[in-house]
Chain A
Amino acid sequence: MIKLPPGMDWVWRHLSLTMAIIVFPVLFSAVTAEVAFERSKSLEFCASCHVMTPYVEGLKEPGSELLAAKHYQYRRINHNQCYTCHADYDLFGPAKAKANGLKHMAHYYLGKPRKIALYKPFPNSHCLQCHDGARSFVQAEAHKDIMEEIRSDGMKCIDCHGPVHPSHVEKAQ
């Protein structure tokens, strides 16, 4: 057995403990958080909270005319359908979506779930992220005269293309 010089056993013991109690948890939590956040973007993850059931059922309803259902059923968005439309596209958008998601989960499990509502009116920039520049959008007769208003959020896409989710249908009725 290797005999450590005096004092070295103390250093060696603390080095091992530092690795186990400080370094390992920092690295392991970073990996877990990243994997969990990535998986939490999926539709299945959102659907696992029962408050989201009507929204997910609305997406999958055969022949539905809801905007979200058309995006889902025609595979206009291939993966992470909820996240793609509901996360902001600015610098802090993904971080903000993650923080809000954690807040929603805390409300769901620890507190009283509140009524589901958007934090702010749905911005056109979320739609334009994919549609702007697309031939079907730019060349559409209905868009030509109001293009600037659409781009400046003066006129909302969902005013004409809604309803988006079943809750909007209920509200409208």
Chain B
Amino acid sequence: MNARRRFALFCTFLGTMIAFVCLYKTTPLSMMAFFNGSLLLYLLGMLVYLYDVFTSIQSLKSKGR
């Protein structure tokens, strides 16, 4: 697994941990952390992963597979 995928998985993991805190005990602080932290981390993870898929497809194409 390359570094980009590991980074995307790490962002998803971290986002999920913050979301769990918000689910366990919803306070203004945990809700803020969810909306400003989790969602951004999820988005970042998705973008990094999609970029990785795109570059991976490009490299497969260039190898003629």
Contact = CB atoms under 8 A, between A and B. Distances in A.
- Do A and B actually bind? yes
Contacts of A40: 26, 31
Interface string A28-61: 1101110110011000010011000000000000
**A interface residue count range (under 10 / 10 to 19 / 20 to 34 / 35 or more):** 20 to 34
Interface residues of B, number: 29
A21 interface: yes
A24 B56 CA distance: 22
A85 to B, nearest CB: 19
Binding site secondary structure of chain A: helix
A102 interface: yes
B22 A17 contact: no
A14 B53 contact: yes
Contacts of B19: 28-29, 32
Contacts of A32: 19, 22-23, 34, 38
Contacts of B5: 17
Given A32-B22, A32-B34, A36-B34, A21 B28 contact: no
Given A36-B22, A49-B28, A22 B16 contact: no
A146 interface: no
A147 to B, nearest CB: 40
Contact of A29 (B9, B28, B38, B53): B38
A24 B12 contact: yes
A25 B28 contact: no
Interface of A: 7, 10, 14, 17-18, 20-22, 24-26, 28-29, 31-33, 35-36, 39-40, 45, 48-49, 102, 105-106, 108-110
